[in-house]
Amino acid sequence: MARKKILFLVAHRPGRSPGQRFRFEQYLDYLKTNGFQYDISYLISEADDAAFYAPGRLLAKTRIVLKSIRQRFRDLKMAKNYDLVFIYREAHMLWFSWFENRLQRLGARIILDFDDSIWLNDTSDGNRQLAWLKRPSKTADILRLSSMALVGNEYLASYARRYNTNVHVVPTTIDTDYYIPGSQQTKNTVCIGWTGSSTTLKHLQHALPVLKAIREKYGEKVSFRVISNKPLETVLPGLENVKWSRETEVSDLYPIDIGIMPLPDDEWSRGKCGFKGLQYMSLEIPAVMSPVGVNTEIITDGVNGFLAGTEEEWVKKLSALIESPALREKLGKAGRQTVMERYSFESQKERYLQLFNRVCES
């Protein structure tokens, strides 16, 4: 039997983007062992990364964009050789949906996958002046052109269903064979931790009054660990900034005793897929999360983690965990069980495969 062929159209090289890694890259080997073969066409090379996300560098960015347009034209020529074209977020970073339109006219079966409220404006700090070259509303156009849409939560699905009738919620998943809980260590301090990209450090900034209140309450009994590609620049006694690394992304989480995911209650945050919380939970680290969007589906308050809205709730629930190792262990183990049952690669792989087969057979 001939193997079905998938063309993945993405922005970044494999392994570079957390979104790509956890939305589809972790399924590639499974797809391959179940009758699929694939090619990945990406636009931003490792050499391009620094220039593309830095302020200024207009000449270099122009070169990258022109190169990416040429790449997508090559992809159009090859599209007829594939049973399925999978687009993560958009085929190209500029305002148009011309490539998606052309693919559809060529008869391509398109799956659009996204895990953020990408129909809203959200430009990286280094490209704020070029935001006019983006058109987030094109997401609606791409949805209309797609055979199927895969989204990370029900909030995103409610948007997608306005423009496409074949929408499926597939949560962003954790490979629990990779995210394995670390061994328990006896320590004199309780470490409260956060991990995420520099674009979401602003959410942690909003939680600083809580963290400072906790430090004032417990003193040196509490420390803080922030793992990101950029440091959290603030005065907070007991703070350790750790530069994120793919090689140590799991082991860097091990010293954390309590993981936090503060979020504002806005339209962008409601589209988030709770991934920070899932990372903590998969390692049996009890999570405290804002009751925003999918977080309220992931967490049953007091059972497998805590939800905290107000500063008072944050201080109260962090305090309960700081003061009780038994509670930390209980919520941590329940959290990992939740991930295993609903948000793991193992729990979703069969459904993922079925959805791909369904599109190919349509």
Residue-wise pLDDT for 58-68, tens only, equals 888 889 899 99
168 pLDDT more than 80: yes
Query: How is residue 307 written in tokens?
Result: 């939800």
Per the prediction, the chain carries an average pLDDT of 92
CA 171, chain centre distance (Å): 10
92 pLDDT more than 60: yes
Confidence class of residue 127 from pLDDT cuts 50, 70 and 90?
very low
Degrees to nearest 5, angle at CA 165 with 162 and 166: 130
CB 47 within 8 A of CB 112: no
75 pLDDT more than 80: yes
**Can 4-173+345-361 and 190-342 be said to share one CATH topology?**
yes
Degrees to nearest 5, angle at CA 94 with 197 and 90: 65
Degrees to nearest 5, angle at CA 26 with 35 and 173: 120
CA distance 171 to 31: 17
Residue type, 285: I
First to last CA, the chain: 18
125 pLDDT more than 70: no
Residue type, 353: L
pLDDT at position 129: 53
DSSP assignment string, 159-214? HHTTT-S-EEE----B-TTTS-PPPP---SSEEEEEE--GGGHHHHHHTHHHHHHH
Degrees to nearest 5, angle at CA 269 with 263 and 273: 100
pLDDT at position 52: 78
> Which range among 130-139, 226-235, 309-318 shows the weakest confidence by mean pLDDT?
130-139
Report the interhelical angle of 311-323 vs 208-218 (nearest 10°): 40
- CATH number listed for the domain at residues 4-173+345-361: 3.40.50.2000
pLDDT at position 321: 98
Across the range 69-90, mean pLDDT stands at 96
Which residues pair with residue 261 across a beta bridge? 289
- pLDDT tens, position by position, 248-288: 999 999 999 999 999 999 888 888 889 999 999 999 999 99
Across the range 206-228, mean pLDDT stands at 97
**DSSP structure class, residue 294:** T
In CATH, the architecture of 190-342 is 3-Layer(aba) Sandwich (3.40)
97 pLDDT more than 60: yes
| % of the chain exceeding 70 in pLDDT | 95
Distances (CA, A) of 308 to 155, 156, 296, 318: 20, 23, 10, 9
Across the range 289-306, mean pLDDT stands at 96
> Which range among 110-124, 233-247, 306-320 shows the weakest confidence by mean pLDDT?
110-124
CA distance 249 to 136: 31
- pLDDT tens, position by position, 10-50: 999 999 888 999 999 999 999 999 999 999 999 998 888 87
pLDDT at position 268: 83
- Residue 262's contacts (CB-CB under 8 Å, 6 or more residues apart) are 203, 204, 206, 207, 210, 289, 290, 314
Nearest to 171 by CA among 360, 41, 341: 341
pLDDT at position 131: 53
CA distance 220 to 153: 39
CB 79 within 8 A of CB 100: no
What residue spans define the domains of the chain? Answer: 4-173+345-361, 190-342
> Which range among 17-21, 81-85, 91-95, 145-149 shows the weakest confidence by mean pLDDT?
91-95
Give the sheet arrangement for strand 222-228, strand by strand.
Answer: 239-243, 222-228, 190-195, 258-261, 287-289, 306-307
pLDDT at position 68: 93
172 pLDDT more than 60: yes
| Higher-pLDDT residue of 93, 131 | 93
Nearest to 109 by CA among 1, 2, 9, 11: 9
pLDDT at position 358: 95
pLDDT at position 267: 86
